[in-house]
A and B are shown apart, each in its own frame.
Chain A
Amino acid sequence: MKSRVDVVRRACSAVVLLVGLGLVGACGREERAPAPLAAPTMTRAAWLEAVRQAHAGVDGAQSSDDKNDALRRIAVVLDEATPLPEASAAPVRQDLASRAARLALELGRADEARGWAERGLALGNGMPFFRANLLVELADAERMLGKNEAAREHLVQALGINQDLLDRELEEP
């Protein structure tokens, strides 16, 4: 009788062991499944340093080569997935896009400038002041391309944003 109980107990232990191994395997698979396929994003510190360097590149750009280098640096930062929450990153990206558009205008490349400005505006509302700057750059690009009506509309929009911001700053506390 005792030996029968031992046999049954051993059989049960084996079943428990097998079920346990199965569960461990299943749980492991469940965790491995959503593993990201994309390359890991930059750290926040690295991203912010890249932004700082991109701005420094624009600040120090004198020649056309410098300006093209600065544009490339901005493109790298804007192409990179940001590790910051979108709400925090949007104004930073808009400011960079605005500077890129201005550089492209200085280089006489209106189409490219328009592309940068539209890219910045497509990032959403971000910060109104940067949005207004992007609209001015877009207007300058449109004007360079001979599209004065489009330029006018963007300028009127930019003026409205600045009026709102001025009113907000000067309103009585």
Chain B
Amino acid sequence: MKKYLVSSVVALVTVGCSAGRAPKAAPAQDTAPVQDTAPSGQAASATGLAPVAPADSEAQQSPRSTQDDAAPQEEKRKSAVGPEPLQVAIDSFDDALEPQKLSCEGARPHRDAICAIAERLCELPAERPSTTRPSASCYDARHSCDAAKTKFKARCG
């Protein structure tokens, strides 16, 4: 009888509380995961919104691991035959993107900002006319502007 009582209580404890802690389904609009990291460089849109991209689920990752296992054999086969059409497509995509042009477009706003800030620094009046600091910071900033222009021209023409 004791056995009956104890086993019933244990069963209730196990089933009762663990069922209560089962994770709830997320609301529909919150199911799409958002990339946790902020975008690097200046790839942000005009509004500065971070790109929203779905993260890999376990279901998506598991087939990848099987592909990884088969990768060495696959590579041997590929090297014997020559470049795969996929690789050719990736290469031509990279060529079409013109990464150098992209980085020049990304660099341009920084070059312009450096020179605009330099102008602002040189326009600032000194709080204490005796100090040499304003002219020094103006000189440094102008030098930075020139250096930025030179660097940009050397790389981007």
Contacts and interface: CB of A to CB of B under 8 A. Distances in A.
Contacts of A132: 113
- How many A residues are at the interface, by size bracket? 35 or more
Interface centre among A5, A8, A9, A88 (most CB of B within 10 A): A88
Interface residues of B, number: 58
Given A16-B8, A27-B17, A155-B120, A44 B30 contact: yes
Given A52-B47, A163-B148, A129 B20 contact: no
A170 B108 CA distance: 10
Interface in A136-156: 136, 139-140, 143, 148-149, 151-152, 155-156
Contact of B30 (A43, A51, A139): A43
Interface in A83-99: 83-85, 87-92, 94-96
- Majority secondary structure of chain B interface residues (helix, strand, loop or mixed): helix
B48 A94 contact: yes
Interface in B3-45: 4-5, 8-9, 12-13, 16-17, 20-21, 27, 29-30, 32, 34-39, 41-42, 44
A91 B44 contact: yes
Interface stretch (B75-83, B84-92, B121-129): B121-129
A96 to B, nearest CB: 8
A2 interface: no
Contacts of A43: 27, 29-30
Interface centre among A30, A127, A168, A169 (most CB of B within 10 A): A169
Contacts of B36: 85, 87-88
- Majority secondary structure of chain A interface residues (helix, strand, loop or mixed): helix
A102 to B, nearest CB: 14
6 contacts: A85-B34, A88-B37, A95-B47, A132-B113, A159-B144, A170-B156
